[in-house]
Every structure is written in structure tokens, then in C-alpha cells.
Amino acid sequence: MAIILDGKKLRDKILNELTIKINTYSNKPSLAVILVGDNPASKLYVNNKKKIAEKIGINSQIFEYESNTNEKEIIKKIKELNADKNITAILVQLPLPKHISREKILSAIDPQKDVDGLSPINFGKLFSGLKPYAYPCTPKGILLLLDEYNIEIEGRKVVIIGRSNLVGKPLAQMMLDRNATVTVCHRHTKNLTEITKTADILISATGEYIVKGEMLKHGCVVVDVGIFKDSTGKTRGDIDFENASKIASYITPVPGGVGPMTIASLMINTVELYLNNKNA
């Protein structure tokens, strides 16, 4: 049976360490979160981020907007937050309503306050071999989790399913930076199983239940980024956990794997941006 990559346990360890550190700061880091629309999952995530931030000593404010709010109003708020010395980190929860340009919104965030590392400056830095002010939270969390279990990355074959800006693309680059051989698959990939069978480390981030046990190589490491409710209301990920855990050497559970690590990374990034921000 595969060893469980316990994201909750590592998250708690990281949060404890951060709490002690933050306690020693004279000012507190402060995270502003912008939420547009009434997507229930986004609301849940945002409230959870605020709750955890406050628990470890980070000030956090949520700015909520109706789904029909126009782009200009959000950009105006971001500019205000950019200029506000009391705000050290800004996060715009994604996805945004269709009429709002994600690129325009992310471009408006001061790169030094861009806690998700998704603004074009930080994304550009990542892809050109420069250090961004912050690394995207989910990929960062996955690497922290693999490192915690001493899973070797250098020289290994990493297969990522999903090419989103949030996960697949930045993760591919971060794996390349760690000297992995990386393949990125997506909905147009042909013969997916042929490729996943070669993976030493397989990461799936599609939000669809697509990875079956027989698609895996014996002893591989499996990371599931997906989380959704299936038709019976059960929370599940992209990967058939029951069968995959008989084949893999390590596997993330859903929930309790990558999700908590995204939050942990967000808190680390918030503290790092604060420390860079000469207010500390």
C-alpha cells in the first residue's frame, strides 16, 4: 500500500512555525482578498483563507463584489490596496465572472504584493529563470509536500495532466527548475495512458475523474490536485484513490493532500512578501 502524503500534517507544522515567527514581528502581515461573484466554492475557500490567516496572526480582510461589478471598479480597489501601506499581500480569488478580464485584473496587482505569483511580472520572472516575488501557491505546496517526504525530483520523469495558469504551467516550470524531465498533458493529448505509464511522478489537476489505477507505473508517486463532488455527493479527486494506492509508492488523499498545502503556501508567501516589504 502506498504511503499517504499527508498535507494536513505538514500544513499544521508550517502554520505552527509561522505563528511563532509572526509573534515576533512588531507590525503584522496583512492579506487583502478580493472575491467577485457568488461562487459557493470560492466563498468557502476565501473564508477559510481568512480564518487561517487570522489564526496565525496575519490580518486579513475580504472585499466582496457582486457578480455584475465592472472591471474598472475592481481595478480601482486593487490600486487603492497597492498604495495602502497597511496591506502587504493581495489575492484575487479565481475564477472571475466572464465579463471581467483576468489578465487585466492580475496585471493591476503590484507584483511585490502579488501573493499568488500570478501577475504577468511574477509569471514572466518564473518562466525566465528569475526569482518571482511569490511562487504560485498550489505548485509551491506540491513541491513542499514532496520534499517533506524526501521524494527525489531531479532526473525523474514528471507527468502533469492539466495546463492551467494556476497549476499545470507554473508547476511544469518549477519541476524543470528542479531538473525533472517534464511532460504536460491536456484534453487534446492522445494515448494518455502511454504517457502516464512512464511517470515516476504523476500529478493530475483537471477536476475530472480520469486517472485509473491501470494508467500508473508500479511504485510511482501520485499527486491529486482535483477536488469536486461526484454525482453521489462524495468529495473526490481526479484519481481513483483505491486502486492507485495499491500501485503507487506515495499518494495524496483528497481531501487532506494538496488543498491544505495550497493554504500553507499562501501563508508562507504572505509572510515572505511582508518581510520584503521593509515594514517588518
d(CA 222, CA 249): 8
Among residues 6, 116, 224, 240, which one is catalytic?
Answer: 116
Residue 105 in the binding site for ligand GUN (CB under 6 A): no
Q: What grid cell was written down for 268?
A: 508562507
Q: Where are the alpha helices (DSSP H) in 130-167?
A: 137-148
> Would you say the C-alpha torsion 134, 186, 184, 262 has a positive or negative sign?
positive
Q: Is 112 a catalytic residue?
A: no
**What binding mask, one character per residue, do residues 44-83 give for ligand GUN by CB under 6 A, x or -?**
----------------------------------------
Q: In angstroms, what is the minimal distance from the CB of 46 to ligand GUN?
A: 9
How many of the other CB atoms lie within 10 Å of CB of 112? 17
Residue 116 in the binding site for ligand GUN (CB under 6 A): yes
Across the beta sheet with 221-224, what order do the strands follow? 3-4, 250-251, 221-224, 201-204, 157-161, 181-185
Q: Which residue is nearest to ligand GUN (CB)?
A: 94
> Would you say the C-alpha torsion 221, 270, 168, 41 has a positive or negative sign?
positive
Q: Specify which residues 3 forms β-bridges with.
A: 250
List of long-range contacts for 40-46, beta carbons under 8 Å, 24+ apart: 42/93, 42/94, 42/95, 45/93, 46/93
Which residue, 95 or 124, has its beta carbon nearer to ligand GUN?
Answer: 95
Residue 93 in the binding site for ligand GUN (CB under 6 A): yes
Which residue, 57 or 259, has its beta carbon nearer to ligand GUN?
Answer: 259
Residue 91 in the binding site for ligand GUN (CB under 6 A): yes
Residue 96 in the binding site for ligand GUN (CB under 6 A): no
84: which residues sit within 8 A by CB, 6+ positions away?
A: none
Residue 267 in the binding site for ligand GUN (CB under 6 A): no
**What binding mask, one character per residue, do residues 122-161 give for ligand GUN by CB under 6 A, x or -?**
---------------xx-----------------------
- Number of shown-chain residues binding ligand GUN (CB under 6 A): 9
Residue 106 in the binding site for ligand GUN (CB under 6 A): no
Stretch that binds ligand GUN, among 88-96, 154-162, 180-188, 217-225 (CB under 6 A): 88-96
Q: What grid cell was written down for 3?
A: 504511503
Which residue, 102 or 178, has its beta carbon nearer to ligand GUN?
Answer: 102
Q: Is 49 a catalytic residue?
A: yes
Q: Is 278 a catalytic residue?
A: no
**Which single residue is written with the C-alpha cell 489505477?**
213
3-class secondary structure, 50 = helix
d(CA 126, CA 117): 9
Residue 94 in the binding site for ligand GUN (CB under 6 A): yes
Residue 184 in the binding site for ligand GUN (CB under 6 A): no
Residues with catalytic annotation?
49, 93, 116
Contact set with ligand GUN (CB under 6 A): 91-94, 116, 137-138, 166, 262
